[in-house]
Amino acid sequence: MIVSWNWLKQYIKLDISVDELAHRLTMAGLNHESTSDVEGDIAIDLEVTSNRPDCLGHIGIAREAAAVLGREVTPPKVDFATSRPAAVDLTRVEIACPDLCPRYIARVIRRVKIGPSPDWLRRRLATCRVASINNVVDITNYVLLEASQPLHAFDFDKLTERRIVVRRARAGETINAINQKRYELTADMCVIADASRAVAVAGVMGGFDTEVSDRTTSLLIESAEFDPLAIRRTSRRLGLSSESSYRFIRGVDPAGLDWASRRCCQLIVELAGGEVAEGAASAGPPVAERPGVVLRFAQLKRILGIDIDPAEARSILQRLGLAELRHDAATVEVRPPNWRRDLEREIDLVEEVGRIHGYADVPEDVAVPMTTAPRTPRERVDALIRHTLTAAGFSEAATMSFVDQSLVDAFRPWSADPPLAVDHPSRRHENMLRQTLVPSLLAVRRLNESRGTFESDLFELARVYLPATARPLPHEPRLAALVTGRELGELKGVVENVLDQLHVALSLDVRAADRPEFAPGRGGELHIGDQLFGYIGQASDALVAKFDLRKTCCIAELDVDRLLAAAQLIPQFRPVPHLPASEREISMIFNEAVPWLIVESLVRQAAGAHLESVRFLGLYRGRQIPAGKKNLHFGLTYRAADRTLTREEVDQSQQAAIAKLRSELGGELRGV
């Protein structure tokens, strides 16, 4: 709301500077945005919150300033001569849709002379950045900016049968608006019509055919109240918004319609001449008296934390225009003015008293009691994962939850359901909620490649959105995805480190997964126990090509919630062995098809109770190894809890392991 300093001074005596006023209003809730000089006037831009439509006019701002400064407001006196025939003899108003338009007041002025506005009026409007059209239109805008009540002036003689019908638009009905565009209307929109056609989109924009022109001599002045929700819908649907619709959407003062209508007529008579027909043609019920609201003074301390004297509280409420109905030592009952529709409850009064009193003396050093605040398992797991991955050289990315169809299609390990999508004009393409983080990270990798960084190892920890059939809201598992240019084995090692940091008791099991996203034979499902918790693999050529990556990369994605379930956040002590161990190694040649897992489990079976661990040390192929074979090199640790093992005991276990591998797998010892 742009406020003209000169204009404001018309309603309230201001002997303080503009800056001082702006500051005082800011500290009462009208946030000061800017001040600028405009040809002999000062434009003060104030931010009006959506609960205060009464402050979308100069009188409202003046009332607020008066309450803050303890001054009087003097709204203009409205007085003008009227003539017969009366308005009700000249026109008729009918409301066919009281749910969309509760009240409508029409006044008629004849023999006006349309012309340019006087300088003072043009300047006022210019300060508020409203263009001057002609004297009558300018006056309706002036009253809008004065009383925050939108008005509309029709060329009375152009209204068929010179009457007003407020009704729903008819199917297929169109209107040629003031902006000379044609709009198609629908049945949930409210229109102002005459006997034959729509002449205005109610509360949003007037019609071109009945607008005031240089040849207009008779006027019908509309002052009405419309349903905020209906105006909002119409305004959105038609893509039309105006100073009027802005105010109707926030709500106008139903008791202020008549004042604004008369004020408009007064100014028209003054500036454009004419005769105002006596009275008004109106429709709609009278404005009901508002119920009283009780404030218990004790609530001020209970909510605001400061003592405010009941006398001050009563004075503030009265300054704000609330009529005091009764009071005693503990309470006051007040009736809020009609322009303050936001005041209905006791808590509303608490806020009014608080904000006008000011929050400066609310202490900022009270004793707040201590309480428990344990870190949640989720926080611990997130922190451990981030710690492990950053230590492994992965940088964390944060990418958009929105993706487009091509990213959805790129990689779909978690769901085959169509993705959820938002319905909003600003997101026509990237409108889907992702079901995996991997494609977003591949896109980040491509972006970095395109800027010359080829070695980006990235991870992200975020939610994905999987449609759920049995419940209204989707599943939102949290995933951790990794993308790297390093070898698959290194990436698996990083995943193992994550499990290690979380002290997952069950061992990791990777099962082959032939998915088109992975290179043949180089993709796997990650399991702990029988629980699937993720995927790992090398990107297929197709995937690399799809993202236009220069280099291939390996990817993994883990379900953090499943890891959380398997994590042991408080690891338990195991005695550190203090007796010496015996270390041995085996180097054996096997067929290519023999997996390490089989070798390891056979060793564990055969090597007896003193075998403590088996560690993979290396895999060799090459000149000394026959084709189709590979050499596995691994270490074995033997230890007893209560004594030092003898060389013979260890040799015996070692021979048993070797014999087992020979007989079961045909392994050939290569000597170490």
Partner 1 sequence: MDDNLTRFLADLERFGAEACAAFTAAAGAAEVEQLRIKYLGQKHGQIEQFDTFFKSLPPAGKKAIGKRFNEVKQAVKQAHESAKQQPAAAGLAEAAARPSTGFDFSLPGVRPRLGRKHPLTQTAEELVDIFGRFGFTVADGPEVEDERHNFEALNIPPAHPARDPIENFYLGDQTLLRSQTSTVQIRVMERQPPPVRVVAIGRVYRPDAIDATHSCMFHQIEGLYVDRGVTLADLKTVLRLFAASYLGRDVHIRFRPSFFPFTEPSVEVDMSWDVRGGQWVELGGAGMVDPNVFRAVGYDPEVYSGFAFGLGIERMCMRRHGINDIRLFYENDVRFLDQF
The smaller minimum CB distance to partner 1, of residues 459 and 634, is found at: 459
Q: How far is the CB of 375 from partner 1 (least distance, A)?
A: 7
Q: How far is the CB of 485 from partner 1 (least distance, A)?
A: 11
Residue whose token pair is 């004042």: 259
3-state secondary structure of 142: helix
Q: Looking at 52, 158, 168, 247, which residue binds partner 1 (CB under 8 A)?
A: 52
The smaller minimum CB distance to partner 1, of residues 276 and 316, is found at: 316
The smaller minimum CB distance to partner 1, of residues 52 and 107, is found at: 52
Residues between 468 and 527 that touch partner 1 (CB under 8 A):
472-474, 476
Positive or negative, the Cα torsion across 385, 389, 395, 397? negative
Q: How far is the CB of 458 from partner 1 (least distance, A)?
A: 7
Q: Looking at 113, 129, 181, 301, which residue binds partner 1 (CB under 8 A)?
A: 301
The smaller minimum CB distance to partner 1, of residues 350 and 558, is found at: 350
What the block records as the tokens of 105 is 């007041």
Q: How far is the CB of 95 from partner 1 (least distance, A)?
A: 20
Please give the span between the terminal C-alpha atoms of the chain, in angstroms, as a whole number: 87
Residues between 320 and 359 that touch partner 1 (CB under 8 A):
345, 347-348, 350-351, 354-355, 359
The smaller minimum CB distance to partner 1, of residues 129 and 378, is found at: 378
In order of 77, 154, 606, 661, the CA distances from 80 in angstroms are 10, 20, 113, 113
The smaller minimum CB distance to partner 1, of residues 187 and 391, is found at: 391
In order of 90, 246, 292, 350, 432, the CA distances from 302 in angstroms are 58, 36, 22, 10, 47
Give the torsion through C-alpha atoms of 179, 204, 58, 344, to 10 deg.
Answer: -170
Q: How far is the CB of 249 from partner 1 (least distance, A)?
A: 6
Q: How far is the CB of 179 from partner 1 (least distance, A)?
A: 20
Residues between 536 and 595 that touch partner 1 (CB under 8 A):
none
Residues between 204 and 263 that touch partner 1 (CB under 8 A):
228-229, 232, 236, 249-250
Q: Is 101 a residue that touches partner 1 (CB under 8 A)?
A: no
Q: How far is the CB of 403 from partner 1 (least distance, A)?
A: 12
Q: How long a stretch of residues is the chain?
A: 672
Q: How far is the CB of 394 from partner 1 (least distance, A)?
A: 4
> What track of x and - describes contact with partner 1 for positions 2 through 31 (by CB under 8 A)?
------------------------xxxx-x
Q: How far is the CB of 460 from partner 1 (least distance, A)?
A: 8
Q: What span, in angstroms and rounded, lies between the C-alpha atoms of 180 and 175?
A: 9
Q: What span, in angstroms and rounded, lies between the C-alpha atoms of 7 and 127?
A: 10
The smaller minimum CB distance to partner 1, of residues 375 and 511, is found at: 375
Q: How far is the CB of 36 from partner 1 (least distance, A)?
A: 21
Q: How far is the CB of 203 from partner 1 (least distance, A)?
A: 14
Q: Looking at 436, 456, 501, 582, which residue binds partner 1 (CB under 8 A)?
A: 456
The smaller minimum CB distance to partner 1, of residues 57 and 523, is found at: 57
| Residues 323, 340 contacting (CB under 8 angstroms) | no
Q: How far is the CB of 552 from partner 1 (least distance, A)?
A: 18
Q: Looking at 146, 222, 457, 557, which residue binds partner 1 (CB under 8 A)?
A: 457
Among candidates 448, 480, 445, which has minimal Cα distance to 553? 445
Q: What span, in angstroms and rounded, lies between the C-alpha atoms of 135 and 118?
A: 8
The smaller minimum CB distance to partner 1, of residues 241 and 652, is found at: 241
Could you tell me which residues are beta bridge partners of residue 401? Answer: none
Q: What span, in angstroms and rounded, lies between the C-alpha atoms of 231 and 229?
A: 5
**Angle at which helices 228-238 and 243-250 pack, to 10 degrees?**
140
Residues between 605 and 664 that touch partner 1 (CB under 8 A):
none
Q: What span, in angstroms and rounded, lies between the C-alpha atoms of 247 and 53?
A: 7
Contact stretch for partner 1 (CB under 8 A) within 9-17, 265-273, 457-465, 506-514: 457-465
Number of residues that bind partner 1 (CB under 8 A): 87
Q: Which residues of 590-609 are buried (b: 16+ CB within 10 A; e: fewer)?
A: beeebeeeebeebbeebbee
Give the torsion through C-alpha atoms of 535, 541, 546, 551, to 10 deg.
Answer: 90
Q: Is 447 a residue that touches partner 1 (CB under 8 A)?
A: yes
Q: Looking at 10, 51, 552, 587, which residue binds partner 1 (CB under 8 A)?
A: 51
The smaller minimum CB distance to partner 1, of residues 45 and 351, is found at: 351
Q: How far is the CB of 232 from partner 1 (least distance, A)?
A: 6
Q: What span, in angstroms and rounded, lies between the C-alpha atoms of 133 and 141?
A: 10
Q: What span, in angstroms and rounded, lies between the C-alpha atoms of 613 and 653?
A: 13
The smaller minimum CB distance to partner 1, of residues 171 and 398, is found at: 398
Please report the DSSP string for 491-537 in residue order: HHHHHHHHHHHTT--SPEEEEE---TTEEEEEEEEEEETTEEEEEEE
Q: How far is the CB of 619 from partner 1 (least distance, A)?
A: 24
Among candidates 18, 13, 22, which has minimal Cα distance to 74? 13
Q: Looking at 77, 424, 428, 574, which residue binds partner 1 (CB under 8 A)?
A: 424
Residues between 180 and 199 that touch partner 1 (CB under 8 A):
none
Phi, psi angles (nearest 5°) of residue 506: -75, 150
Q: Is 71 a residue that touches partner 1 (CB under 8 A)?
A: no
The smaller minimum CB distance to partner 1, of residues 10 and 51, is found at: 51
Contact stretch for partner 1 (CB under 8 A) within 49-57, 278-286, 323-331, 504-512: 49-57
What the block records as the tokens of 37 is 């000089």
User: Count of CB atoms within 10 A of residue 328's CB?
Assistant: 9
The smaller minimum CB distance to partner 1, of residues 473 and 593, is found at: 473
Q: Looking at 204, 212, 265, 444, which residue binds partner 1 (CB under 8 A)?
A: 444
| Residues 46, 56 contacting (CB under 8 angstroms) | no
In order of 85, 610, 642, 645, the CA distances from 581 in angstroms are 117, 10, 12, 8
CA–centroid distance for 303 within its chain: 28
Residues between 364 and 423 that touch partner 1 (CB under 8 A):
364-366, 368-376, 378-379, 383, 386, 389-402, 420-423
The smaller minimum CB distance to partner 1, of residues 187 and 383, is found at: 383
Q: How far is the CB of 104 from partner 1 (least distance, A)?
A: 20
Q: How far is the CB of 141 from partner 1 (least distance, A)?
A: 23
Which distant-in-sequence residues (6+ apart) come within 8 Å of 99 by Cβ? 227
